[in-house]
Amino acid sequence: MWYKAGCRSCVDFHGLNVNNSSQSKVPGAVILMPMCIPDTGVRVSAGCSSKKVTNRPMTTVPTTSTSVSALGEYLERARHRIEESLDEYLPALGADAEAVCPERLAMAMRYSVLGGGKRLRPVLCLMATEACGGESAAALPGACALEMVHAYSLIHDDLPAMDDDDLRRGRATTHRAFDEATAILAGDGLLTLAFEVVAKEVRPSSAALRCVAILAEAAGPAGMVGGQMADLLAEGHGEAGGRRPPTSVTLATLEAIHRRKTGALLRAPLKIGAVIAQASECCVEALDRYGKAIGLAFQIVDDLLDVQGDETKLGKRVGKDSALGKWTYPRFLGVDGSSRRARQLADEAIAAIEPIGPRGELLRSLALALLERDR
Ligand code: GRG
């Protein structure tokens, strides 16, 4: 749970613990007051304007004083909708389905995507759409595509040639549950399906085209894949695939690696969500700055969890980074320095969406909540 001693009422949302007590342990955390906005179709004006005027918030639109329980409720409902949509987009099982996708591949893809996870990237996408006055339903295809790309990256990252992990989301990694060839193909299948879903389901087609470009850039050589390669090289992965002693890495290099490896796919949902809402460039840019800051903060917290986290809650091995002598934030800044840097980035994220006004309240709460996650 997020809030430990003294917590009066907590909701545990897959490690994004949310507390409706006003005594948050996060300095400066805001208290959310749920406020229902009727489905008037009228846009509530914020600093940035969007073309879209439809308005059907998923749960509540918080005021400037926001309760953390509103965030918890939102996250629970969003996760449910995302998982329903993922289930529909993924290849089906059964005799008739075999003609479309081999059952073993469908099973491995479904196993990898539907087996838990915080659904942070799709949630960010839905929140961004709503923050720009759009309908979350319109963002579901983009949100699911982001989760598919994320699941693919985890499958491939866990492979023996990469991190060689046997535990993910509290159960066997895909190559352990199936086999390596099936895991590679499940990852490939998810990556390509993600683009199919965006191209076919995001409307209008001009928005779909833009989303394809954003997702490709975030996932590809300039983003996640490039970051993964840079990380392997920094850890001493030789050109011939062998290991050599790790190179000397500076904090700036580490930051550049993480901004691509983890940060890019956490930044993309904000931009995709804003594009789907047909938001003004001002809103797109504000949300992009938010995504850039929380993307890095998320990785710093991940490094901290590898030092301080609970393996059972995390559902993956801990202490691996330090055991392997990996470059991490705690190694450069220590635990306290890393926590301070994460907090600084969360503050940057919050400041970035100032122009969005009250509609950005859930995103503000989420930025603080991510600092306290325990998985
Ligand atoms: C192999 C192409 C390729 C890319 C791998 C993202 C990545 C690049 C590797 C993951 C390594 C890792 C565990 C990084 C730490 C940050 C991170 C992405 C954690 C997992 O994301 P969560 O915490 O996972 O959102 P859940 O299970 O909640 O979805």
Range scoring the smallest mean pLDDT among 19-23, 67-71, 215-219, 244-248? 19-23
Checking if the pLDDT of 186 tops 60, the result is yes
- pLDDT, tens digit, 9 for 90 and up, residues 281-302: 999 999 999 999 999 999 999 9
Q: Is 118 in the pocket of ligand 1 (CB under 6 A)?
A: yes
315 CA distance to ligand 1 middle (Å) = 13
Which of 14-23, 46-55, 284-293, 366-375: highest mean pLDDT?
A: 284-293
30 or 184, higher pLDDT = 184
Q: Is 208 in the pocket of ligand 1 (CB under 6 A)?
A: no
Per-residue pLDDT, 18: 63
Checking if the pLDDT of 313 tops 90, the result is no
Domains parsed from the chain with CATH numbers: 10-371 (1.10.600.10)
Per-residue pLDDT, 50: 40
**φ, ψ (nearest 5 deg) of residue 172:** -60, 140
Angle at 212 between CA 208 and CA 214, to 5 degrees: 115
Task: Spell out the SS3 assignment of 84-144.
Answer: HHHHHHCCCCCCHHHHCCCHHHHHHHHHHHHCCCCCHHHHHHHHHHHHCCCCHHHHHHHHH
Checking if the pLDDT of 150 tops 70, the result is yes
Q: What percent of the chain has pLDDT over 70?
A: 80
Asked whether the beta carbons of 214 and 275 are under 8 A apart, the reply is: yes
Nearest C-alpha neighbor of 58 from the set 116, 143, 115, 117: 143
Q: Is 370 in the pocket of ligand 1 (CB under 6 A)?
A: no
Residues 199 and 214: their CA atoms lie apart, in Å, by 12
249 or 16, higher pLDDT = 249
Checking if the pLDDT of 230 tops 50, the result is yes
Closest ligand 1 atom to Cα of 225: 2
Checking if the pLDDT of 276 tops 60, the result is yes
Average pLDDT, the chain: 84
Per-residue pLDDT, 245: 63
230 or 322, higher pLDDT = 230
Checking if the pLDDT of 36 tops 80, the result is no
Task: List the residue whose alpha carbon is closest to atom 4 of ligand 1.
Answer: 153
Top mutation candidate among 123, 157, 174 for ligand 1, by most atoms within 8 Å of CB: 157
pTM of the model: 0.85
pLDDT band at 47 (very low <50, low <70, confident <90, very high): very low
Which of 13-17, 39-43, 61-65, 318-322: highest mean pLDDT?
A: 318-322
46 or 367, higher pLDDT = 367
Checking if the pLDDT of 13 tops 90, the result is no
Task: List the residue whose alpha carbon is closest to atom 29 of ligand 1.
Answer: 117
Residues 48 and 313: their CA atoms lie apart, in Å, by 39
Q: How many residues does the chain have?
A: 375
Per-residue pLDDT, 374: 85
